[in-house]
Chains A and B, each alone.
Chain A
């Protein structure tokens, strides 16, 4: 299995621009998670999908952030407009949720720099 795939691996953009991060979960997994990692705040859960439905988006920092999962094999995290404080590494993780014994597998991350 190829594991969780994220693109792009690096993104540099200017303040105010729209940024779209992409994630392909492991085939067969039914849960998908978006995390943000910064030095100051560590690893933060942004949003969680189960069977393509957003279950918990309480970690999404503000309305500038949105996430979609149109099907079981693809998810996007969009930031519009982007700000310098959004600079971080964004990880996608997936798991097969079954009776509370799932294990999350992380993608390689997207390093976002907003100038």
Chain B
């Protein structure tokens, strides 16, 4: 069965700290992987996506993610977080047509 696991449910960091959010997926076919961000009270916005090619994907706002096929992982990283990065982050894998979303990671950045 297709599934996505986000192990960190809540993360608290100080500004300028480095961020890495874990995402592991289970899917037998060709994977399309996504990270979405949801700022407080807002809708989900696409941060970055991986379909094929370079496994290191760069997205908006300085975020990047690395697809490691052997580990079934697609971790999100940012070298230096800002207070404005406070949000909930969702990893998703695309199956035949459905997106399977993880349960989300709530990030709080302290100023």
Contact = CB atoms under 8 A, between A and B. Distances in A.
Contact of B103 (A42, A56, A101): A42
B67 interface: no
Contacts of B32: 100-101
Interface residues of B, number: 19
Q: Is the interface of B mostly helix, strand, loop or mixed?
A: strand
A50 B104 CA distance: 27
Nearest to A92: B43
A56 B99 CA distance: 12
Contacts of B43: 91, 106-109
Nearest to A58: B98
Greatest chain B CB density within 10 A among A31, A45, A105, A106 is at A106
Interface in B55-111: 90, 94, 97-99, 101, 103-104
Interface residues of A, number: 22
B44 interface: yes
Interface string B32-63: 10101000001111100101000000000000
13 contacts: A43-B44, A43-B90, A43-B101, A56-B97, A56-B98, A100-B32, A101-B32, A103-B49, A106-B43, A106-B44, A107-B43, A108-B42, A109-B43
